[in-house]
Amino acid sequence: MGRALDELVKLLSLEPIEVNIFRGLSPPDDRQRVFGGQVAGQALMAAARTLPEDNAERHLHSLHAYFLRPGDVKVPILYEVDRIRDGRSFTTRRVVAIQHGRAIFNMSASFHVPEESFDHQQPMPTTPPPDALPTWLERWEPYKDVIAEYLDRPRPVDMRFVDAPPPPGREGPLDPRQRVWLKADGDLPDDPIIHACIVAWASDMTLLDTSVLPHGLSNQDDQLMMASLDHAMWFHRPFRIDEWMLFDQMSPTASEARGFAWGHVYTSGGDLAVSVVQEGLLRLSTKDRTESV
């Protein structure tokens, strides 16, 4: 396992401090606020850690989350889990993330006993394989003088972009779609919840960016304030994020300072494994981007 991936797994592990209460930390970097994918992944891990032993075989099938306030990277996050229901087929958990005595995030997660029934899916789009695409470093190399600090940041998930060039190389509006190959930078344990947490973490990296492609902007534009508002995921079929997966993303609309985007995550074999939907704040502003939404 690569060092960056090992640090991400540790970040998602959480510290139990009381029944149904866990503590999570943020990485020691220079972010102005906690990365939304981190909070979602940690909250999901907290929910899974409260499954009864006889529910251990229940698989995560969906999560629905709201980002309420910016997270403070300098202090721990407390995750309080409410054991809503333990039924014969479904287990439901509600998780609230707390900092400075206030909720910054809440999430409902549902787990399901595996069953066999109907089966169909939308096929994976035809896409160049990841080995035929530039690595992250190769993609950004022409702009290293502009974003040297961003380029050198350790990355636990390898990302190979199929479509849009990096923001410094973009010229004008683009179609509101992007495809990205994802793969954890190393081997992971077999525990499916670790793979689900890392996919949740990675799904917040690029999805909202799709909403600003038609407007010739990116998350690196100083005048643009972007923040996740809500995030939903459905887990359809087994997968491993330490094998290549294609994240096919599309933004059908943006309006009233909000961008909306959805994505499908496919295994390299073409199985539709995860669906993701996100809405986020898109606000043109000269104010401090850490202000409350």
At residue 79, the pLDDT reads 98
At residue 289, the pLDDT reads 46
Position 217 confidence tier, pLDDT thresholds 50, 70, 90: confident
Q: Which residues are catalytic?
A: 204, 228, 278
Please give the Cα distance from 108 to 101 (Å, whole number): 20
Give the length of the chain.
Answer: 293
- The pLDDT tens digits of the residues spanning 71-103 come to 999 999 999 999 999 999 999 999 999 999 999
The CA distances from residue 162 to 25, 26, 125, 204, 222, in Å, are 33, 30, 12, 18, 25
Span of 187-191, 215-219, 284-288 with lowest mean pLDDT = 284-288
Residues paired with 235 in a beta bridge: 274
Task: Give percent of the chain above pLDDT 70.
Answer: 90
Q: Does domain 3-114+134-284 match CATH 3.40.30.10?
A: no
At residue 293, the pLDDT reads 59
Please give the Cα distance from 238 to 114 (Å, whole number): 11
- b/e sequence 122-146, b meaning 16+ C-beta within 10 Å: eebeebeebeebeebeebbeebeee
Average pLDDT over residues 113-124: 94
Average pLDDT over residues 3-29: 94
Please give the Cα distance from 247 to 265 (Å, whole number): 4
Q: Using an 8 Å Cβ cutoff, are 251 and 261 in contact?
A: yes
Average pLDDT over residues 258-281: 97
| Ramachandran quadrant class, 186 (left: phi over 0; alpha: psi -120 to 50; beta: rest) | left
